[in-house]
Structure 1
């Protein structure tokens, strides 16, 4: 068994596509119209294009919106992405205008930071020891 797909609920798929590809650097894998303006829109890491996909899923369902909004209100990230160097990625993303809600923080052997994805979610980046 392996993880094939996971999702983040987003307010606006076009805005999310721009942020996740142009800012974060993911690569669009699937973009299938579903009707009503919704799309099956997935991105992958350029380092592993056949690896797990992240679905940028419309946050239209009231339960999804309430869940996501509660996490943001409490400062809890919805997802975590691995990076080689949190401090370097924090500097790169900050230079692109990304707003961080948690600056790089060392938690024992792990360093983390949290940013706003501009689409309704907080995302954590983490560097773990090798």
Structure 2
């Protein structure tokens, strides 16, 4: 068994697509219209046949409360791995990304947390 798709809830799929592709550098893999929303997945440019990230429309009210509670508590929805966190942090700051936690050591990793503009905090991490 392996993970093939994971999701992040988003308040606006088009805004999320723009942020996750043009700012974070993911590549759109699948876009299938499903009524008001779409099945919209992205992949890492380094692993284009790897795990897909589904930009899940935030259409279920209890899920919205959960998303809000996580963000209010400062808890990231998910984590992405990077090779050089300081380089990534600098690049994203130049692109206007707002960080709630700047790069800092946490055990055997360095982490940073940013706002994805779509309702979530996202953590990036680098293994030490």
* TM-score normalised by the chain length of structure 1: 0.97
SS state at 2:25 partner: coil
Q: How does 1:39-58 map to 2 (within 5 A)?
A: 39-58=38-57
Q: In the aligned structure 2, how far is the partner of 1:15 from the partner of 1:60?
A: 15
* Structure 1 runs not aligned, ≥5 long: none
Name the CA distance, whole Å, in 1 between partners of 2:79 and 2:108. 16
- Indicate yes or no: 2:87 matched with 1:81: no
Q: How does 1:84-103 map to 2 (within 5 A)?
A: 84-103=83-102
Runs (4+) off by over 3 Å:
none
Give me the whole-angstrom Cα distance separating, in 1, the residues matched to 2:97 and 2:66.
23
- Partners of 2:58 and 2:30 lie apart in 1 by 18
Alignment RMSD (CA, Å): 0.6
* Paired position in structure 2 for 1:24: 24
Match of 2:104 in 1: 105
SS at structure 2 position matched to 1:33: strand
Q: How many residues align?
A: 128
Displacement of 1:113: 0.1
Normalization by structure 2: what TM-score? 0.98
Give the distance between the partners of 2:19 and 2:28, measured in 1 at CA: 11
Question: Are positions 1:9 and 2:9 aligned together?
Answer: yes
